[in-house]
Structure 1
Amino acid sequence: MPFQYDHLRTLTALVDEGTFEAAARHLHVTPSAVSQRVRAMEQAVGKVLVRRTTPVTTTPAGDVVLRHARQVLVLDEDALTELGTGDGNRLLPVAVNADSLSTWFLEALATVAEELGEVFEVHREDEEYTTSLLRSGTVMAAVTSTPEAVQGCTVEGLGTMRYLVVCTPGFARRHLGDPADPALLAQAPMVTFDRRDDLQDRFVRQALGEEPRGPRHYIPASQDFARAVHLGMGWGAVPERQCHEALATGELVAMAPDHPVDVRLYWQRWNLRSPALDLLTDVVRRHAAARLHPLAPG
């Protein structure tokens, strides 16, 4: 056997805890024992598995072994749960984009937590980058915008998250004229999630046919992003579910209601038969169907 069970547990603990000392405390062994186990795994495969940085990170070979280790531990926990001897404290790591987490995904997790008693470690990441966490073995499932399955995973469509380009009436008068001219959005102040967020840029290119030139505010939290738009700091593409009430009351105005920004979302998960992962998938599928727009063909 190239890998011993204790060695696999040690690798996951090392990556999760970040240092050899913290992993040792978690496993109730010495840091030397952690180091010896990792070294034994590396000797068995003939490759370096972890970078001795702070925090510890995995190499490409380590990603493969880490994913294998987590899958072995999931199967082990499933068996213990079925036998009625599990401790009920299993940690299920998942990745999701901030807007999904704020508008519908957290409700799905709450349902699973209540039914199974599992606990979750949520990694918040842009939907275009969550698959990297699947590849590295960091998470077992992810909401992603990538329709191509990561190796060792299955993929299914969840639906479309719709964003509307909105601003306050006062912002529109100050920056877009009276009546407001949406063509001026390209040079008006905008709110952006972070430097990888291209939703606003995508709207300007597709709807206006030009590059955005206005100043940007970077607000890297979903609720705070929407709040910044509500406060008139700039215009932004806000999830439909976060702005429909404000649009109805007139607190916000839609600048281009016929040009929403749609993001197609998919669910990728390990191709592994696990009651906990199966239940999570089913609940996520149901919540997405109730709260997202259907995926259009193509």
Structure 2
Amino acid sequence: MPDWDLGQLRALAAAADLGTLDAAARALHVTPSAVSQRIKALEHQVGAVLLRRERPVRPTAAGEPLVRLARQLDALTEDATRHLAAPRVPRVPLAVNGDSLTTWLLPALAPLADRVVVELVREDQDRSAALLRDGSVMAAVTAERTAVQGCSVEPLGVMRYRPFAAPAFRDRWFADGVGRAALAAAPVVVFDAADRLQDRWLERAGVDPLAPPRHLVPASADFATAIRLGFGWGMLPDQQSDDDVAAGRLVLLDDGSGVEVPLFWQQWSLRTQALDAVADHVRRGARAALGGAARPAAP
């Protein structure tokens, strides 16, 4: 097993995070030459180029696991230091899809706010696993059911999305029913270019997803607001639409099952008290909001 030098690993991670050797040097309080020498020594030990020397610098495929290792070692060091020195609030970077963030995740994590610094990175549930692979986050709420290398995975539950519209929008565009011709003409609200929820529902209805005009609104709360204001129809999770339906601000276009998105919890396969606490609260929140078969954190 290699005898890793923590200073070399930190130099590599700092360069990858900050984009230049100069910025890494400032963060580590050393010279750029020292950062370069540490990275070269690590490359010599591994026998591979670990950093692409471009602007910004980026880790190579061989470098990505070592960047992740550096971040994991820092997390473990921070966890140990908390028990040996003056109390310091631990940090847990976490990727989460916008709809979970808007609906159930923040209430789930609120009880930890005075004990853990949670750094939330909003990322689509289909893409958040990439942040685990490069070590940018320690855990993720993701649609990826296959465990990222070095991570564990477990199901959280299912978010069900159904098509909603403002009453006036429905009356204008679907006066004769929600048929193919009307769906091909009625404007639709999508989150961003990667959002396929509306496309999947249109395809199920036999409509070309590229036919209707598309409004892009890349923020979960604003996405729902755009639908309420009549920009177009769109897919919303039950947790985000129930109050608006009860108040008459939204109407359901189809009473079918909608589109179901299974969510999973992936986290680094290491143990820190802070990460364990975050995972346990996420499981509880998912069980309450999604009906997931959440289990408590292992002792």
TM-score, L = length of structure 2: 0.90
Aligned to 1:154: 152
CA distance, structure 1, for counterparts of residue 11 and residue 88 of structure 2 = 19
Q: Does the Cα contact within 8 Å between 2:52 and 2:60 map onto a contact in 1? A: yes
CA distance, structure 2, for counterparts of residue 38 and residue 185 of structure 1 = 56
CA distance, structure 1, for counterparts of residue 258 and residue 230 of structure 2 = 20
SS of alignment partner, residue 237 of structure 1: strand
- Cα distance, 1:237 vs structure 2: 0.2
SS of alignment partner, residue 34 of structure 2: helix
- Cα distance, 1:263 vs structure 2: 0.8
Gaps of 5+ in 1: none
- Cα distance, 1:9 vs structure 2: 2.1
- Cα distance, 1:86 vs structure 2: 5.2
| 259, 264, 269: which one aligns with 2:267 | 269
CA distance, structure 2, for counterparts of residue 266 and residue 186 of structure 1 = 33
Q: Counterpart of 2:140 in structure 1: which amino acid? A: A
CA distance, structure 1, for counterparts of residue 25 and residue 232 of structure 2 = 48
Matches within 5 A, 1:174-253: 174-177=172-175, 179-183=176-180, 184-206=182-204, 208-212=205-209, 213-253=211-251
CA distance, structure 2, for counterparts of residue 223 and residue 55 of structure 1 = 33
SS of alignment partner, residue 60 of structure 1: coil
Q: Measured at CA, do residues 46 and 16 of structure 1 come closer, stay the same or move farther in structure 2, by a change above 3 Å? A: same
- Cα distance, 1:2 vs structure 2: 4.6
Matches within 5 A, 1:48-197: 48-85=49-86, 87-88=88-89, 90-114=90-114, 116=115, 118-177=116-175, 179-183=176-180, 184-197=182-195
CA distance, structure 1, for counterparts of residue 52 and residue 216 of structure 2 = 32
Q: Counterpart of 2:110 in structure 1: which amino acid? A: A
What is the percentage of aligned positions where both structures have the same residue? 49
Q: Measured at CA, do residues 182 and 259 of structure 1 come closer, stay the same or move farther in structure 2, by a change above 3 Å? A: farther
CA distance, structure 1, for counterparts of residue 164 and residue 62 of structure 2 = 46
Aligned to 2:27: 26
**TM-align CA RMSD:** 1.8
Q: Does the Cα contact within 8 Å between 2:183 and 2:207 map onto a contact in 1? A: no
Gaps of 5+ in 2: 294-299
Matches within 5 A, 1:10-49: 10-49=11-50
SS of alignment partner, residue 44 of structure 1: helix
- Cα distance, 1:108 vs structure 2: 3.1
Q: Does the Cα contact within 8 Å between 1:166 and 1:254 map onto a contact in 2? A: yes
Higher alpha-carbon deviation: 33-42 or 284-293? 33-42
**What is the number of equivalent residue pairs in this alignment?**
290
TM-score, L = length of structure 1: 0.91
CA distance, structure 2, for counterparts of residue 276 and residue 151 of structure 1 = 21
SS of alignment partner, residue 227 of structure 2: helix
- Cα distance, 1:156 vs structure 2: 0.6
Q: Does the Cα contact within 8 Å between 2:286 and 2:292 map onto a contact in 1? A: no
